[in-house]
Amino acid sequence: MIPITINDKQTKVPEDLSVLEAVREQGIYIPTLCYHEALEPAGSCRLCIVEVEERGRVRTAASCVTPLTPNMIIRTDTEKILKIRRILLELLMARCPGLKVLEQMAAQMGVKKVRFAQEDDDCFLCGQCVRACSEIVGVSAIGFSDRGVNNKIGAPFLKASNVCISCGTCTTICPAGTFHLERVDNLVSLHRYSNEYHQEKCRVCGDHFVV
Ligand code: SF4
Ligand code: FES
């Protein structure tokens, strides 16, 4: 256990936690979009930003990818931190208007309007689907393609993947509900990736499997 201070309150926490885990252990809310307990943290959405102070040096950091150090001082609710989070959320809402998960977060964080030009996407590139496919399923059927504003999720060259096993893990973990797995008889379609697979029904358990 190591001593740290969170929002002026001293406490002791296991040293192998991230800043995010330590803060959440104290029951303090920090918004996250790319973090999932079952995955390696990616630090991509930056919504979990906090202020950390170590040996008198103050900086902002994505709490999900920041390790704890003894006597670290963490501030989760300064004006600056709340303002950065609100702007980041506004940018995500401009990219993906109408997404429930973002609207719920906006209500919680007091974001009442979006001041940026609206796009028409339904994926905020958190990468949870990509990491789940790689880290949990172990096949890496999907990934990021293109760069910058054209960055998107899909199988290589945005064609049907020949390693996808249509397990549906990506559809389950996606916080945005971006794509869907549809099963009609023995044909499974993974919408958005244009993938289609023939499956057989197991005579014992009745579940389907890729042949
Ligand atoms: S499809 Fe869903 S899980 Fe994958 S990057 Fe987009 S929002 Fe995240
Ligand atoms: S949750 Fe930490 S950067 Fe996304």
- State the total domains in the chain: 2
Q: Which atom of ligand 1 is nearest to the CA of 33?
A: 8
- Is 119 domain-assigned? no
Are 85 and 106 contacting, i.e. CB atoms less than 8 angstroms apart? no
Placement of tokens 């289609």 in the chain: 196
Which among 67, 207, 195, 48 has a CA at the least distance from the CA of 133?
Answer: 195
CA of residue 55 to ligand 2 center, whole Å:
24
CA of residue 65 to ligand 2 center, whole Å:
8
- Is 120 domain-assigned? no
- Check whether residue 136 and residue 95 sit in a common domain: no
- Check whether residue 142 and residue 50 sit in a common domain: no
Query: Which pLDDT score is estimated for 185?
Result: 63
Residue nearest to atom 4 of ligand 1 (CA): 129
Query: Which pLDDT score is estimated for 183?
Result: 67
Q: Which atom of ligand 1 is nearest to the CA of 124?
A: 7
DSSP conformation class of 196: E
CA of residue 96 to ligand 1 center, whole Å:
11
- Check whether residue 151 and residue 104 sit in a common domain: no
- Check whether residue 14 and residue 86 sit in a common domain: yes
- Check whether residue 13 and residue 96 sit in a common domain: yes
Query: Which pLDDT score is estimated for 200?
Result: 64
- Check whether residue 101 and residue 133 sit in a common domain: no
- Check whether residue 70 and residue 147 sit in a common domain: no
- Is 167 domain-assigned? yes
- Is 175 domain-assigned? yes
- Is 98 domain-assigned? yes
pTM of the predicted structure, to 2 decimals: 0.87
Residue nearest to atom 6 of ligand 1 (CA): 123
Placement of tokens 């609206």 in the chain: 118
- Check whether residue 200 and residue 149 sit in a common domain: yes
Give the pocket of ligand 1 (CB within 6 Å).
Answer: 123-129, 153, 174, 176, 178
CA 132 to chain centre: 11
Query: Which pLDDT score is estimated for 195?
Result: 58
- Check whether residue 6 and residue 105 sit in a common domain: yes
CA of residue 47 to ligand 1 center, whole Å:
15
Query: Which pLDDT score is estimated for 53?
Result: 98
- Check whether residue 82 and residue 154 sit in a common domain: no
Q: Which atom of ligand 1 is nearest to the CA of 170?
A: 3
The residue range of the domain holding 185 is 128-210
Calculate the alpha carbon distances from 112 to 29, 86, 206 in Å.
Answer: 19, 10, 48
Which among 41, 143, 43, 126 has a CA at the least distance from the CA of 92?
Answer: 126
For each of the chain's 211 residues, which pLDDT tens digit applies? 999 999 999 999 999 999 999 999 999 999 999 999 999 999 999 999 999 999 999 999 999 999 999 999 999 999 999 999 999 999 999 999 999 999 999 999 999 999 999 999 999 999 999 999 999 999 998 898 877 777 888 887 777 778 888 788 988 999 998 877 766 666 566 656 555 556 666 777 776 665 5
Q: Which atom of ligand 2 is nearest to the CA of 65?
A: 2
Buried b (16+ CB within 10 A) or exposed e, 55-67: eeeeebbbbbbbe
Output the domain CATH number for residue 54: 3.10.20.740
Q: Which atom of ligand 1 is nearest to the CA of 174?
A: 3
Are 90 and 115 contacting, i.e. CB atoms less than 8 angstroms apart? yes
Sign of CA dihedral 174, 152, 191, 89: positive
End-to-end CA gap in the chain: 50
CA of residue 129 to ligand 1 center, whole Å:
6
- Check whether residue 152 and residue 77 sit in a common domain: no
- Is 123 domain-assigned? no
Output the domain CATH number for residue 160: 3.30.70
Query: Which pLDDT score is estimated for 210?
Result: 58
Which ligand approaches the C-alpha of residue 45 most closely? 2
For 81, the 3-state DSSP assignment is helix
- Is 11 domain-assigned? yes
Query: Which pLDDT score is estimated for 115?
Result: 96
Which ligand approaches the C-alpha of residue 125 most closely? 1
- Is 168 domain-assigned? yes
Domain final residue pick, 74, 109, 144: 109
Residue nearest to atom 7 of ligand 1 (CA): 123
Are 32 and 64 contacting, i.e. CB atoms less than 8 angstroms apart? yes
Are 74 and 28 contacting, i.e. CB atoms less than 8 angstroms apart? no
Tell me the residue type at 43. G
- Check whether residue 17 and residue 87 sit in a common domain: yes
